[in-house]
């Protein structure tokens, strides 16, 4: 083989080796790029997992806070219910005292919710002397007292559906009874507690229209405003509460109305 041939063969060998090396380098670069892409995808996935984990922890913290708020709300609700029962008991006691004082002043006995007054030397109201049949008036008086007393007892015990039915029964049987105004008012209270604000407005409004001279009329008008507030009828609520404050100035009822109006001012309503 001549020198020229040897040189040519060597050149061809070297060229082939270089070509294969170039191809190998390109393949390695492609694989490296692919690995980089995979690594970036894994990093993005890890970042997403971290963000998801952070969101989960944030959600768990919010849940813990919500549970705490729920427990606080339950405690406040229980306290309010207890205060409400005490308020009803106190109001019932005061009503009995007022009605008994009125009976003593007039000398005309009248049954009071479950506790009829007793005149000295005379049988208790509703009692029938031995040997005499009860008159129709006595029977009606006893029934009227029992129906009202049962409804009011249910209200104080927190059995609101039962109280609503009881006061409705009283008003159906004794629309002009001595406690018709109170029954209408307490019916509205039970409906208000049950958040049936539309029905409560009708009951409270009826106190003012059917029994304008009732002691319950100022409070009933106040509760109409409260119901309108709960129904988000803020313009009507403001007008009603302003009427309460103007009609009954200097009273506790007017103070409650003014406090709610101040609250509405702060709320921008």
Tell whether 49 and 144 lie within a shared domain.
no
Whether the per-residue pLDDT at 160 is higher than 80: the answer is yes
- More confident call, 107 vs 2: 2
C-alpha distances (whole Å) from 153 to each of 12, 54, 86, 194 are 114, 54, 12, 17
Cβ contact 216:181 at 8 Å: yes
Tell whether 144 and 99 lie within a shared domain.
no
Render the chain in DSSP notation, one character per residue: --HHHHHHHHHHHHHHHHHHHHHHHHHHHHHHHHHHHHHHHHHHHHHHHHHHHHHHHHHHHHHHHHHHHHHHHHHHHHHHHHHHHHHHHHHHHHHHHHHHHHHHHH------TT-----TTSPPTT---TTSPPPHHHHHHHHHHHHHHHHHHHHHTT-HHHHHHHHHHHHHH-TTSTTHHHHHHHHHHHHHHTT-HHHHHHHHHHHHHH-TTSTTHHHHHHHHHHHHHHTT-HHHHHHHHHHHHHHSTTSHHHHHHHHHHHHHHHHT-
- pTM of the complete model: 0.54
What does the pLDDT look like over 41-53, one tens digit per residue? 877 776 776 677 7
Residue 122 has a pLDDT of 45
Sequence length of the chain is 269
Q: Give me the number of domains the chain comprises.
A: 2
pLDDT band at 165 (very low <50, low <70, confident <90, very high): very high
Cβ contact 201:224 at 8 Å: yes
What does the pLDDT look like over 104-139, one tens digit per residue? 444 444 444 443 444 444 444 444 455 555 677 777
Tell whether 179 and 259 lie within a shared domain.
yes
Residue 170 has a pLDDT of 96
Is position 180 within any domain? yes
Whether the per-residue pLDDT at 156 is higher than 80: the answer is yes
Which residue segment(s) compose the domain that 144 sits in? 138-269
DSSP, collapsed to helix, strand or coil, labels residue 265 as helix
Tell whether 79 and 153 lie within a shared domain.
no
Please report, for the domain that includes residue 184, its CATH number.
Answer: 1.25.40.10
Tell whether 256 and 146 lie within a shared domain.
yes
Residue 44 has a pLDDT of 77
pLDDT band at 67 (very low <50, low <70, confident <90, very high): low
pLDDT band at 14 (very low <50, low <70, confident <90, very high): low
Is position 203 within any domain? yes
Residue 51 has a pLDDT of 72
The torsion of the CA quartet 184, 188, 194, 196, rounded to 10 degrees, works out to: 120
Cβ contact 115:104 at 8 Å: no
What does the pLDDT look like over 207-250, one tens digit per residue? 999 999 999 999 999 999 999 999 999 999 999 999 999 999 99
| Alpha carbons 36 and 39: distance in angstroms, whole number | 5
Is position 127 within any domain? no
Tell whether 201 and 269 lie within a shared domain.
yes
Tell whether 89 and 163 lie within a shared domain.
no
Tell whether 168 and 258 lie within a shared domain.
yes
């Amino acid at each position: 083989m001549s020198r020229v041939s040897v040189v040519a063969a060597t050149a061809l060998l070297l060229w082939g080796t270089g070509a294969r090396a170039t191809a190998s380098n390109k393949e390695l670069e492609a694989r490296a790029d692919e690995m980089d892409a995979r690594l970036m995808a894994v990093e993005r996935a890890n970042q997403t997992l971290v963000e998801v984990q952070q969101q989960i922890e944030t959600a768990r913290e919010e849940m813990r806070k919500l549970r705490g708020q729920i427990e606080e709300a339950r405690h406040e609700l229980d306290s309010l219910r207890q205060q409400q029962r005490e308020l009803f008991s106190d109001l019932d006691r005061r009503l009995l005292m007022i009605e008994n004082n009125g009976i003593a002043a007039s000398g005309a006995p009248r049954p009071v919710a479950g506790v009829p007054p007793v005149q000295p030397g005379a049988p208790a109201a509703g009692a029938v002397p031995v040997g005499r049949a009860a008159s129709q008036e006595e029977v009606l008086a006893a029934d009227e007292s029992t129906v009202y007393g049962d409804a009011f007892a249910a209200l104080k015990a927190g059995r609101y559906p039962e109280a609503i039915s009881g006061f409705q029964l009283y008003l159906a049987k004794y629309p002009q009874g001595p406690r018709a105004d109170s029954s209408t008012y307490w019916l509205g209270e039970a409906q208000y507690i049950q958040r049936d604000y539309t029905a409560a407005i009708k009951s409270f409004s009826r106190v003012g229209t059917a029994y304008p001279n009732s002691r319950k009329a100022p409070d009933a008008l106040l509760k109409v405003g409260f119901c309108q507030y709960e129904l988000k009828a803020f313009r009507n609520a403001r007008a009603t509460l302003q009427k309460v404050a103007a009609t009954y100035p200097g009273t506790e009822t007017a103070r409650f109305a003014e406090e709610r109006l101040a609250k509405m001012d702060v709320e921008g309503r």
